[in-house]
Structure 1
Amino acid sequence: MLPWVLDDHDLGFLKKYPPEKREDALQSLLVSNRNSFKVPTISIFVEYGIFISLILACGLVHYLPRLFPTACKKLQPKLAPIRTHLLEAPLLGRRNAEPIPLFGLRWLTFQMPLRLEGIVLLALFLINLLPITAFYTTLAAEHNPRYPGPHSHRQQMQRYLADRTAVLAIGQVPLLFLMAGRRSPTTLVSGLSMNAIMLYHRWIARMVWCQAFIHAVAWTVIRIDQGRLVKMYQTPYWNWGVAAFMMFGGLIFLSLRSLRQKWYECFVFLHILMALLAVVGIYFHIHLLHSSSFRLFVIMTEITAAIWAFDRAIRFFNRLITSVQLRRSGRQLVKVASADVEFLANNKVARLRISLPAWRVQDGTQSDVPGLVPKLAAGYSIMLSVPRLQIVGDHPFSIAKARVIRDPKSEERAAFIDVLVNIQGGMTKKLLSLAGSKDIEGLALSRSLSVIVDGPYDHQLSLCATDHLLLYAGGIGVTYCLPFLEQHVYRGKFKTCKLVWMLRDLDLLEVLDEPLGELDAAADATKAKLFIDVYHTASRASEKGAPIATLEEVPAELPSSLSSSSDLTPQEEKSITGGLDDDDDEPAEKAEGGGRTANEGVLKRRWRNITFNVHHGRPDGIRHLDESVAASRADSLSVVCCGPRPLCDWARNETLQWRREREWADIDFHAECVLW
């Protein structure tokens, strides 16, 4: 039943008045229902319509290039102005990935959306604001038996405001949970990245909490005027509402970027628990009123609970089929996925080689095989948890490598995926402590751990309409770029492919030793060529961007570790004119023991199909495809960036400027930067 339609309770209310006042009482009920329920409910339905339309539109934009790559390739140059000024440009200024401190407070930050995202958020804000501030109708006190007396107008406005904000908040809770689940229909249909999904999720949550706050304050004032506030705390429905409000307030506070980054595992656990308690509180807050007019809002709450349960069930089932295998024979009937941990780059990076069922993995050397259940492939994101290191909470990682092999012992097909983990704090630091420190000779340590894999998440970036590919990586962000190098070498997907890698510690070059060796060997058959430029950003020895080493000019002893031991991170990287200038560079130090350094295998190897150069400082600009790499400027180019937030913003702004100059037929940009 629609909440503004009169029900039996309302008809019983009318019978309490004498016949001569029933006409005024009926008019009072109709006006009250219109103001309290009809206006905000229609606003919610309008918001649902806009939401569905936007999701379908995003789905078309995401999937059409995969279905019709040739037609989309011809259409893209015509849409370049829209992409440049609307889809890919920040709303204001030059920052999108890097948070902006509010009022000079580092712990209170704001993420600047892209322009189209800003327009959507503005529309969402107006849909929430207009029903609260407009379309009110009140009756005069002499014609309103429900609100007689000199304060009739104020009492009516208080009640209508309290009811409207409640309807708006409850109506948006299903949208809030749809934008939170990684396995929700919204994510699957729209093709939106997790960063975009989380952006809308956070803003909807803030609006829901603001409306709940207004609802709570308005009803508190009403009960104080009636002298019944203390008595209300003795009623179950009121206390359930207070509990739900407190849970939403706690969710908003704990979602502050500074808190969730510092205590990520605690944030995940409390977020799940408090979200569930908030839904339970809303349900009983409405259900215990025992009003048939509120049946619609009870259904909305039940839909919210179903969305939450569906996401949790799918994720549990996905973890089960991916991470747990049943054996027909042997002592161990149940086998949990295991990861062989190897520490690289002087224990700054851990490589987790996770053994998985072959049917769940897509080999990076083979063409993609479409299916109903997406396979784990290089370039996808996974959520990884190590039970020995943490009880709850999992962490996002990109798959650097995926292979399906033949087990030499059993002759059965087996598979594994590689994940590169930058050793910092939290779970990654515990991972290093569990395996122990490096041995006396500085050799890499290894250990096998049971892991739980959940994924794949996000959508694998499709570059089917691209002729040339330019990759930018910062620090461990090179993990995201490795699958594109595989696509170029094994499948010949691009005419040219170049990687520009910026890092503060040359020890990180060791993570490329094995992948580049395989690609170089495979390129003998495919005749593919790779171009790699490494920029060592923590050295003052040379002029900015000047080459310091080629294949024939590698010194006998190379720097192994820096006094600043971590790689390029948002906290360490200054944001000056795009976030890439750094005046705190320190000279490199030699490796301990004077033996073979972690990066020497990459630099001293003689590549046959890879042009490998190392430079000091930072690149002067983003235009790294010269005539030897890209012969035709009539082709299309894609710029893909993964790394610290300042790097992603710099690459975005440089690419937009490059597109405006129209040196290429079309330039596309994609950034992979965890913002949530």
Structure 2
Amino acid sequence: MWPVHGCIFLLLICVGTAAVLEHCVQAVDTAYGYITFVGSQPKDVWHLRCQNPLRVTSVYAASEVYCNPSENVAGQAWLTSSCQEFAGLELIPREQLATNLTDDAIRHMRVVAFGDISRREPVNFLVMLSSSYFERAFKTIVTWETQVWYNHAFGLAMYAFWGGILALGILHRSIQYTKHPCCDWEERVSSSVTAINTPFQKLYNWVRTHLVTPSPLPFRGCRVLWWSLPTRMQTLVILLCWVLNIVLCAVMYNAFPGNLYWSDISSQLLRYIADRTGIISFANMPLIWLFAGRNNIFLWATGWSFATFNLFHRHVAWIATIQAVIHTLLYLVLFIQNGNVWKKLQKPYLLWGTFGMVAMLLLWPTAVDLCRRRTYETFLILHVLLATAALVGCFYHTVIFEGNQYWAYLWPAVGIWVVDRFLRLVRVIHCNFHVHLHPRKKLRVSASTAFYDEAADVIRLEIVPGSPLLRPHAGQYYYIYQPLRLKGWENHPFTLGAWSYTAELPAPVAQDNPIADVSRVPLLVDGASCQYQEESRDDQPKLRLIFWIRPFDGWTRHLRQQCLRRPSRTIAPDILLEGPYGHEFPLWNHESVLFIAGGTGIAAMVPYIQDHIARSSTGESATCVRDLHLVWTTRQAAFIRDLVTHELRPALARNDFHASFYSTSAPKDQRYGEENDPDFGPGGLPANKDLAITNGRPDLQTLIITHAHEARLSDSSAIVIICGPPAMADEARAAVHLAMRQGYRDLHYVEESFSW
């Protein structure tokens, strides 16, 4: 999209340069538009301009007097092409009228000023414009053409602004991935002392400390009532975007008395501002669709989350909507001033424009967080329908313009939407379907099981994707469909919690047998303790993706009800995956890591722990991480016990991993891991691990300050990764900001998406 609009901008400059030469003849032609010559019907405008001898001769004569040769050539070429393009007429050649264009004939023409001849009185003689009349017409044309150029140039300024913001994001991501590798302590100390004194490092640390990390407001977190506030850096970007749009809609207007099109200043300003707001609103359209897309390439290039781009999407959409409303209202005022409101409003292109504006306006309430969370499916359907209606209305609103010039802002939005939908389909096919060619053709499709643990109030969804090409990584998430439902088009994003390789997806035992004892079926099963039978269909290990879903409303509640209908609380739903999306943060570039998880936010942490174990097994050069500490708070202790027994068990056996568990519903402190604890497999867990589940919530500020202090003493690069409810994220963010203000600069904060 950026190269396309860059070419348009260069084209505007070239066209603007060429149009300067045409302005002279355009001014002459415009001035004669206020004089009626005999020989043509009043409504036959193009025949009058191209074929009426009196008018054409007068235009040639005035052009000889007021325009230089180069302006004459360019202007008459423009007039000739206009007659051919818009009316299919030939302009009377100058040679055919040469007898009336001699110097003597021109001197004897009647000179008229503006208003000397009424438009209602046709004249049967040649007319020469007075110098004041020409200058007035010329200033009118130049002012109008300049305003048109400004409108398009300021519209394209939106792409320059966002291009600069995205370039900074790409640069920041490059810095993260090109950070110095692990080195000896002495070498690290000397490099740190040298780097911290460089101006760039000082600026970078100041930006991280005061703009990137802290909450937008110093006295509260990122959520006020039903509104989610962005971070301070995001707030600055959004504020600059609003200011830029307001300024560009309010400056560079040249209104003057005596304008031929609109005689009074107020009418000129109304028209200019109405056009400016409409064009910039159109220019924002591709940005709205780009920032809303799942397959936005800048998600990968910048490393920013989908939530960040969705935030930009909403604000750009609000700006474009306000501009569209102003555009509509100002034109309505102009129609009222001209006294032809009803006649104008009956024109189809105005009805379509109003239709598109109303559709955009109706989209506004659906962007509120409260509306999206409580009625997501309804929000999604309305959002798609209203967005489509707005785009269609914009197309038909501008169909009357020459060459459909404003469609250059609309087609990129359509293209972005089509490409995004196509790539979604490609991802669905890639994840779920695979054709085996050997030894015989066989279609392999994704298979899944879902188990609802009532004690943990979590659904464990295991999916063996049909494609053997998927390579899971930390930070990934997938959109999940249940296509055989009545609302099979609905899809919801879930973070990939863990993965393993098995011979085949477990088949549930006696899931329809009400006598079967399922009280001991664990939520998180593995090969050692699973009460499932396996059917080996081929020798190649299959990837098993694991998702932990907290049921609330909508589809998740429906999935829980499906599980509850079975005695085993286990079903085999038809599930399709779309993905993977998301990116892996380069955790391996930091020595000390603090994970903070709330509830099912643990899904964002386990993959990083698995990745660390895998990298550690390949050698010290693969990771810088020397210490990991997990702090996990959840309501149900059963959820903690299941993960400690299975997914977290390999990590808990390591000396470089430590965990603290908190349950907000546990009646008292509980300790697990002893040999006689039935929740653990034979042999229990390492005796040197403190596996207490503490009742209540952790003191995140103390934990984070301590983490930063210990990393500082060992001169380590530290990072805090959090995935949890907004209140928990706010507390962690404030603690990290406090630590950075206290002098620890090499502390990084990463917030994974918890609620989409």
TM range (shorter): 0.7 to 0.9
Contact 2:435 2:443 in 1 (8 A): yes
Q: 1:536 aligns with which of 663, 672, 680?
A: 663
Residues 1:398 and 2:495 are matched in the alignment: yes
Q: 2:233 aligns with which of 105, 116, 119?
A: 116
Q: 1:462 aligns with which of 576, 581, 586?
A: 586
SS at match of 2:206: helix
Residue 29 to residue 475, structure 1, CA distance change in 2 (3 Å): same
**In 2: Cα distance, 1:621 partner to 1:239 partner:** 57
Query: How many positions carry a matched residue from both structures?
Result: 589
Structure 2 equivalent of residue 449 of structure 1: 573
**1:649 deviation in Å?**
0.7
Structure 2 equivalent of residue 422 of structure 1: 550
Residue 622 to residue 91, structure 1, CA distance change in 2 (3 Å): closer
SS at match of 2:140: helix
Contact 2:455 2:636 in 1 (8 A): no
Contact 1:648 1:673 in 2 (8 A): no
Residues 1:506 and 2:637 are matched in the alignment: yes
**In 2: Cα distance, 1:145 partner to 1:158 partner:** 15
What CA deviation, in whole Å up to 9, does each residue of 1:311-333 have, x standing for no partner?
11111111111122335599996
Contact 1:172 1:204 in 2 (8 A): yes
Structure 2 equivalent of residue 70 of structure 1: 181
Residue 449 to residue 153, structure 1, CA distance change in 2 (3 Å): same
Residue 388 to residue 358, structure 1, CA distance change in 2 (3 Å): closer
Contact 1:382 1:457 in 2 (8 A): yes
Residues 1:125 and 2:242 are matched in the alignment: yes
Structure 2 equivalent of residue 306 of structure 1: 415
Q: 2:725 aligns with which of 644, 653, 661?
A: 644
**1:403 deviation in Å?**
2.9
Structure 2 equivalent of residue 388 of structure 1: 484
**1:630 deviation in Å?**
6.9
**1:474 deviation in Å?**
0.8
What CA deviation, in whole Å up to 9, does each residue of 1:37-89 have, x standing for no partner?
33332223333222112212211211332244439995588543321111111
Residues 1:139 and 2:256 are matched in the alignment: yes
Contact 2:498 2:647 in 1 (8 A): no
Please tell me the residue identity of whatever aligns with 1:537.
T
**1:481 deviation in Å?**
0.9
Please tell me the residue identity of whatever aligns with 2:572.
S
Contact 1:469 1:637 in 2 (8 A): yes
Residue 425 to residue 330, structure 1, CA distance change in 2 (3 Å): farther
Please tell me the residue identity of whatever aligns with 1:212.
A
**In 1: Cα distance, 2:224 partner to 2:176 partner:** 34
Contact 2:700 2:731 in 1 (8 A): no
What CA deviation, in whole Å up to 9, does each residue of 1:231-266 have, x standing for no partner?
334322112212211221122221221111111122
Structure 2: 5+ residue stretches without partners: 1-10, 36-128, 183-187, 505-535, 617-622
Q: 2:611 aligns with which of 487, 492, 497?
A: 487
What CA deviation, in whole Å up to 9, does each residue of 1:592-618 have, x standing for no partner?
xxxx8xxx4499943457542221222
**In 1: Cα distance, 2:267 partner to 2:542 partner:** 71
Structure 2 equivalent of residue 256 of structure 1: 368
Structure 2 equivalent of residue 588 of structure 1: none
Residues 1:228 and 2:340 are matched in the alignment: yes
Residues 1:154 and 2:266 are matched in the alignment: yes
What CA deviation, in whole Å up to 9, does each residue of 1:185-239 have, x standing for no partner?
3323222111211111111111000000101111112222223332334322112
What CA deviation, in whole Å up to 9, does each residue of 1:447-506 have, x standing for no partner?
111222111222222212210111111111111111122133332342111111112221
Q: 1:164 aligns with which of 272, 276, 279?
A: 276
Contact 2:294 2:420 in 1 (8 A): yes
What CA deviation, in whole Å up to 9, does each residue of 1:531-569 have, x standing for no partner?
111112235x66xxxx65364599x8xxxxxxxxxxxxx
Residue 282 to residue 451, structure 1, CA distance change in 2 (3 Å): same
What CA deviation, in whole Å up to 9, does each residue of 1:382-420 have, x standing for no partner?
111212343322111100112344553311342221111
**In 1: Cα distance, 2:27 partner to 2:180 partner:** 60
Residues 1:317 and 2:426 are matched in the alignment: yes
**In 2: Cα distance, 1:629 partner to 1:254 partner:** 46
**In 2: Cα distance, 1:284 partner to 1:621 partner:** 56
Residue 268 to residue 324, structure 1, CA distance change in 2 (3 Å): farther
The TM-score normalised by the length of structure 1 is 0.79
Aligned-CA RMSD value: 3.2
- Equivalent residues in 2 for 1:33-52, closer than 5 Å: 33-35=145-147, 37-52=148-163
Contact 2:606 2:647 in 1 (8 A): no
Structure 2 equivalent of residue 496 of structure 1: 627
Residues 1:668 and 2:685 are matched in the alignment: no
Residues 1:433 and 2:433 are matched in the alignment: no
Please tell me the residue identity of whatever aligns with 1:613.
A
Mean CA deviation greater in 17-26 or 625-634:
625-634
**In 2: Cα distance, 1:162 partner to 1:665 partner:** 49
What CA deviation, in whole Å up to 9, does each residue of 1:553-591 have, x standing for no partner?
99x8xxxxxxxxxxxxxxxxxxxxxxxxxxxxxxxxxxx
Please tell me the residue identity of whatever aligns with 1:457.
Y
Please tell me the residue identity of whatever aligns with 1:409.
R
**In 1: Cα distance, 2:647 partner to 2:442 partner:** 38
Structure 1 equivalent of residue 294 of structure 2: 182
Please tell me the residue identity of whatever aligns with 2:484.
R
**In 2: Cα distance, 1:336 partner to 1:228 partner:** 64
The TM-score normalised by the length of structure 2 is 0.72
**In 2: Cα distance, 1:351 partner to 1:10 partner:** 74
**1:114 deviation in Å?**
2.0
| Between structures 1 and 2, the one with greater helix share | 2
**In 2: Cα distance, 1:34 partner to 1:611 partner:** 74
Residue 207 to residue 602, structure 1, CA distance change in 2 (3 Å): farther
Contact 1:84 1:659 in 2 (8 A): yes
Structure 2 equivalent of residue 617 of structure 1: 696
**In 2: Cα distance, 1:350 partner to 1:434 partner:** 11
Contact 1:162 1:219 in 2 (8 A): yes
Residue 114 to residue 11, structure 1, CA distance change in 2 (3 Å): farther
SS at match of 1:89: coil
Residues 1:377 and 2:494 are matched in the alignment: no
Q: 1:56 aligns with which of 167, 190, 200?
A: 167
Residue 675 to residue 153, structure 1, CA distance change in 2 (3 Å): farther
Structure 2 equivalent of residue 515 of structure 1: 646
Q: 2:210 aligns with which of 49, 68, 85?
A: 85
**In 2: Cα distance, 1:552 partner to 1:333 partner:** 48
SS at match of 2:662: strand
**In 2: Cα distance, 1:649 partner to 1:50 partner:** 29
What CA deviation, in whole Å up to 9, does each residue of 1:635-654 have, x standing for no partner?
12111111101001101111
- Equivalent residues in 2 for 1:320-339, closer than 5 Å: 320-326=429-435, 334-339=443-448
**In 2: Cα distance, 1:181 partner to 1:10 partner:** 46
**In 2: Cα distance, 1:673 partner to 1:95 partner:** 20
**In 2: Cα distance, 1:305 partner to 1:406 partner:** 44
SS at match of 1:117: helix
Structure 2 equivalent of residue 31 of structure 1: 143
**1:181 deviation in Å?**
0.9
Please tell me the residue identity of whatever aligns with 1:530.
F
Mean CA deviation greater in 62-71 or 5-14:
5-14
Structure 2 equivalent of residue 217 of structure 1: 329
What CA deviation, in whole Å up to 9, does each residue of 1:145-169 have, x standing for no partner?
2223xxx122112111211110110
Residue 228 to residue 671, structure 1, CA distance change in 2 (3 Å): same
Please tell me the residue identity of whatever aligns with 1:16.
G
Contact 2:27 2:134 in 1 (8 A): no
Structure 1 equivalent of residue 531 of structure 2: none
**In 2: Cα distance, 1:267 partner to 1:166 partner:** 27
**In 1: Cα distance, 2:640 partner to 2:681 partner:** 7
Structure 2 equivalent of residue 472 of structure 1: 596
SS at match of 2:176: helix
**In 2: Cα distance, 1:189 partner to 1:114 partner:** 20
Please tell me the residue identity of whatever aligns with 1:144.
N
**1:632 deviation in Å?**
5.1
**In 2: Cα distance, 1:264 partner to 1:27 partner:** 54
Please tell me the residue identity of whatever aligns with 1:270.
L
Residue 453 to residue 602, structure 1, CA distance change in 2 (3 Å): same
Residues 1:291 and 2:371 are matched in the alignment: no
Structure 2 equivalent of residue 348 of structure 1: 457
Structure 2 equivalent of residue 278 of structure 1: 390
**In 2: Cα distance, 1:121 partner to 1:642 partner:** 24
